[in-house]
């Protein structure tokens, strides 16, 4: 069987790089296509082209002579093709008997090849990997990996080479990417700054995201270009203008103005950016894993295993300090299916207050795993950290009802954190606050001065304080607040997250791995005496 480079991992992983010939092929491919092509479609066509070229070259080279096989007999003057030597062709100039008792009777042929002479075995009776009793030729198509199979195996390497050539190569100006599609730059309609100014005014006047189709109703672009290409041209122009932001979900292109979006949607606050510390998860007890499951942290490794199905009408979760501080909701396994799906960018949703029926806009920040724009709602209802929040689906896509579990107003004890006088750590004391909702008593914490907490968090970030160091500092402070001299693991998690966004796993591991702390059972930890 002849070895094809395109059937090997070494070629696609180490050698594949788009050449000028490949770019010519891609250029003609996009030009002749009825519609723009995705990166996936281009990759498949390029792989198919490589396979076609390889087959063509093999057929051409094999026609130059007989394929060399060690078990065959040859004659002086005969032309041989050597597939394992990149299909080099040579002519037999001499034949002599072989001399090696281990191989029995055989011949040695002298071959003139590429300006030099080389010797090979012939009429060899012992087995050899180059022998093929059925005769070597072009491999049957059914025995080859298909382009789809090759792309599935080496997708990342192929895409990296393809995208580098199209985005940064010498001819990158010829190609344009709009969303997931590629087309040629000279296929686009001319969308100038005047068109974009009109689009900006339309979005601001209507106060909602608009599609390219809606914007096209008010601007004139080249009428000789098809409607689909006009839409693509508008999307491309808007995507390259810093004023506009693509929002929506799935493959929809909806455009809004960045200056009308809240800052928390445009840039993830520091306290919502997770610190993923390495730890030995296998050492966490079943009890601690259960607590992790209950917390359902959006950055945690546990959760409920999979997202809540879209048929489930409602869900609930507890509010932790980082989300209360910035008026956000977590996109966790319990809440994610209630909002538009996506891996990056932002989507707009309408949130309805379950108490008063008030409607307001919220922003789903997919990459940050949170929903922003809830500060006013949280303030109006005076919700504390640890509050039990509920979400409920509606019949309308892009709308969700948000509520809390009410109870009679009562003054309850809360852990108050304050920045130490030397501004290097925090202290805790118990104070009463008014609460009108159900809450998790283990999670409830409050900040005496939220801005000072932010400053301390930034200082700790710059100083490179680890979660282990933070837990070691916080636990003694929390145990002072308890008559039993204990602190619950969930409380430690909640307190750590006032300064350092961290899922439960690393916090729990910091508790069990520190010899200063003793597991008192039921999720409580005490100082070792």
Instruction: Check pLDDT > 60 for residue 316.
Output: yes
Question: What pLDDT score was predicted for residue 144?
Answer: 82
Asked if residue 416 and residue 305 are part of one domain, the reply reads no
First-residue to last-residue Cα distance in the chain: 74
- Has residue 16 been placed in a domain? yes
Exposure string (b/e) for 66-103, b if CB count within 10 Å is 16 or more? ebbbbbeebeeeeebbbbeeebbbbebeebeebeeeee
Same domain, 372 and 427: no
Instruction: Tell me: do 30 and 77 sit in the same domain.
Output: no
User: Which residue shows structure tokens 């070494």?
Assistant: 10
46 and 83 inside one domain:
no
Between 108-117, 132-141, 247-256, the lowest mean confidence (pLDDT) is in 132-141
More confident residue, 363 or 123: 363
pLDDT at 135 over 50: no
- Based on the fold, state whether residues 83 and 228 are members of the same structural domain: no
Per-residue pLDDT for 140 more than 70?
no
Confidence at 293, pLDDT banded by 50, 70, 90? very high
Which of 407, 428, 460 is where one domain is finished?
407
More confident residue, 72 or 373: 373
**Nearest in space to 51 (alpha carbons), one of 88, 89, 25:** 25
| Between 301 and 445, the higher pLDDT residue | 445
Judge if 398 and 514 occupy the same domain: no
Helix (H) or strand (E) holding 463: helix 450-463
| 239 and 323 belong to one structural domain | no
Shared-domain flag, residues 402 and 414 = no
Q: What percent of the chain has pLDDT over 70?
A: 94
pLDDT higher than 50, residue 1: no
Residue 448 counted as domain residue: yes
Q: CA torsion, points 272, 276, 280, 286, in degrees to nearest 10?
A: 20
Written as six digits, the tokens of 339 are: 């909002």
Per-residue pLDDT at 529: 73
322 pLDDT more than 90: yes
Is 375 part of a structural domain of the chain? yes
Domain stops at, among 407, 441, 459: 407
3-state SS of 170-198? CCHHHEEEECCEEEEHHHCCCCCHHHHHH
Q: Are 158 and 151 in contact (CB under 8 A)?
A: yes
Give the CATH number for residue 473: 1.10.10
Structure tokens at 383: 């919700």
When pLDDT is averaged across residues 185-201 and rounded to a whole number, the result is: 91
Q: Which of 370, 388, 407 is the last residue of a domain?
A: 407
Handedness of CA 286, 291, 292, 296 (dihedral sign): positive
Per-residue pLDDT, averaged over 191-218, amounts to 93
Is the pLDDT at 341 greater than 80? The verdict is yes
Residue 271, in any domain of the structure: no
Is the pLDDT score of 294 beyond 90? Answer: yes
pLDDT band at 102 (very low <50, low <70, confident <90, very high): confident
Strand residue runs (E) in 73-161: 79-82, 88-97, 107-113, 116-122
Residues 439 and 318 in one domain: no
**pLDDT at residue 129, as a whole number:** 67
Asked if pLDDT for residue 421 goes beyond 80, the answer is no
CATH code: domain of residue 229: 1.10.10.10
Q: For residue 41, what pLDDT band results from cuts at 50, 70 and 90?
A: very high
- The residue range of the domain holding 101 is 70-122
Residue 336 CB contacts under 8 Å (≥ 6 apart), including other chains = 307, 308
Q: Is residue 272 in a domain?
A: no
* More confident call, 461 vs 494: 494
Residue whose tokens read 């090997």: 8
Q: How far is CA 296 from the centre of its chain?
A: 20
Strand order in the sheet with 79-82: 66-67, 79-82, 88-97, 107-113, 116-122
Whether 276 is covered by a domain: the verdict is no
**Together in a domain, 494 and 437:** yes
Overall number of domains in the chain: 5
pLDDT value, residue 377: 96
Residue 187: pLDDT over 90:
no
Region of poorest pLDDT, from 109-118, 131-140, 484-493 = 131-140
Q: When comparing pLDDT for 142 and 99, which is higher?
A: 99
Torsion of CA 275, 280, 283, 284, to 10 degrees: 20
pLDDT at res. 249: 56
pLDDT more than 90, % of the chain: 60
Give the containing element (helix H, strand E) for 212.
helix 212-216
Question: Please, what is the average pLDDT of the chain?
Answer: 89
The answer to whether residue 132 sits within a structural domain is no
Q: Which two tokens stand for residue 466?
A: 């680890």
Least confident of 66-70, 91-95, 202-206: 66-70
pLDDT average, residue stretch 429-456: 93
Any idea which residue has 């430690």 for tokens?
492
Q: How confident is the model at residue 443 (pLDDT cuts 50, 70, 90)?
A: very high
Q: Based on the domain organization, do 157 and 52 belong to the same domain? A: yes
The answer to the question of residue 279 being in a domain is no
The CATH code of the domain that includes 378 is 2.40.330.10
Task: Decide: 376 and 328 in contact? Cβ < 8 Å.
Answer: no
Do residues 506 and 358 both lie within one domain? Answer: no
Least confident of 19-23, 276-280, 382-386: 276-280
84, pLDDT greater than 80: no
């Amino acid at each position: 069987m002849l070895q094809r480079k395109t059937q090997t991992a070494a070629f696609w992983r180490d050698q594949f790089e788009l050449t000028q010939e490949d770019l010519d092929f891609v250029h003609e491919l996009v030009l002749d296509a009825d519609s723009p092509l995705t990166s996936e479609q281009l990759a498949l066509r390029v792989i198919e082209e490589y396979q076609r070229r390889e087959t063509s070259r093999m057929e051409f080279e094999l026609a130059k002579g007989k394929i060399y096989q060690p078990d065959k007999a040859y004659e002086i003057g005969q032309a041989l093709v050597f597939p394992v030597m990149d299909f080099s062709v040579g002519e037999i100039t001499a034949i002599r008997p072989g001399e090696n008792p281990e191989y029995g009777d055989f011949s040695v042929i002298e071959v003139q090849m590429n300006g030099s002479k080389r010797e090979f075995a012939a009429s060899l009776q012992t087995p050899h990997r180059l022998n093929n009793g059925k005769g070597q030729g072009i491999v049957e198509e059914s025995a080859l990996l298909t382009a789809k199979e090759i792309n599935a195996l080496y997708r990342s390497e192929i895409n990296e080479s393809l995208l580098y050539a199209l985005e940064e190569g010498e001819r990158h100006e010829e190609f344009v990417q709009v969303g997931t599609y590629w087309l040629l730059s000279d296929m686009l309609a001319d969308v100038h700054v005047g068109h974009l100014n009109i689009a900006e005014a339309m979005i601001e006047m209507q106060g909602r995201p608009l599609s390219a189709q809606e914007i096209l109703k008010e601007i004139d672009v080249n009428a000789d270009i098809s409607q689909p290409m006009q839409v693509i041209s508008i999307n491309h122009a808007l995507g390259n203008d810093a004023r506009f932001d693509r929002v929506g979900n799935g493959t929809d292109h909806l455009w809004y103005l960045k200056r009308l979006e809240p800052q928390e949607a445009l840039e993830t606050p520091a306290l919502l950016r997770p610190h993923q510390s390495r730890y030995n998860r296998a050492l966490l007890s079943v009890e601690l894993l259960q607590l992790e499951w209950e917390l359902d942290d959006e950055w945690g490794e546990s959760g409920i295993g999979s997202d809540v199905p879209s048929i489930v009408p409602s869900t609930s979760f507890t509010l932790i300090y980082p989300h209360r501080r910035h008026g956000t909701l977590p996109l966790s396994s319990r809440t994610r299916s209630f909002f538009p799906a996506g891996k990056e960018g932002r989507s707009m949703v309408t949130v309805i207050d379950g108490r008063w029926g008030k409607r307001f806009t919220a922003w789903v920040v997919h990459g940050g795993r949170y929903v922003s724009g809830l500060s006013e709602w949280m303030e109006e209802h005076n919700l504390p950290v640890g509050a039990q929040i509920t979400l409920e689906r509606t019949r309308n896509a892009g709308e969700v009802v948000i509520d809390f579990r009410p109870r009679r107003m009562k003054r309850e004890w809360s852990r108050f954190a304050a920045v130490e006088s030397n501004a290097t750590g925090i202290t805790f004391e118990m104070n009463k606050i008014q609460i009108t909702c159900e809450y998790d008593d283990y999670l409830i914490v409050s900040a005496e001065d939220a801005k000072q907490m932010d400053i301390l968090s930034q200082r700790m970030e710059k100083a490179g304080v680890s979660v282990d160091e933070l837990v070691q500092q916080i636990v003694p402070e929390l145990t002072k607040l308890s008559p039993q001299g204990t602190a619950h693991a969930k409380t430690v998690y909640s307190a750590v997250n006032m300064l350092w966004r961290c899922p439960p796993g690393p916090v729990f591991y910091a508790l069990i791995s520190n010899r200063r702390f003793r597991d008192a059972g039921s999720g409580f930890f005490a100082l070792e005496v």
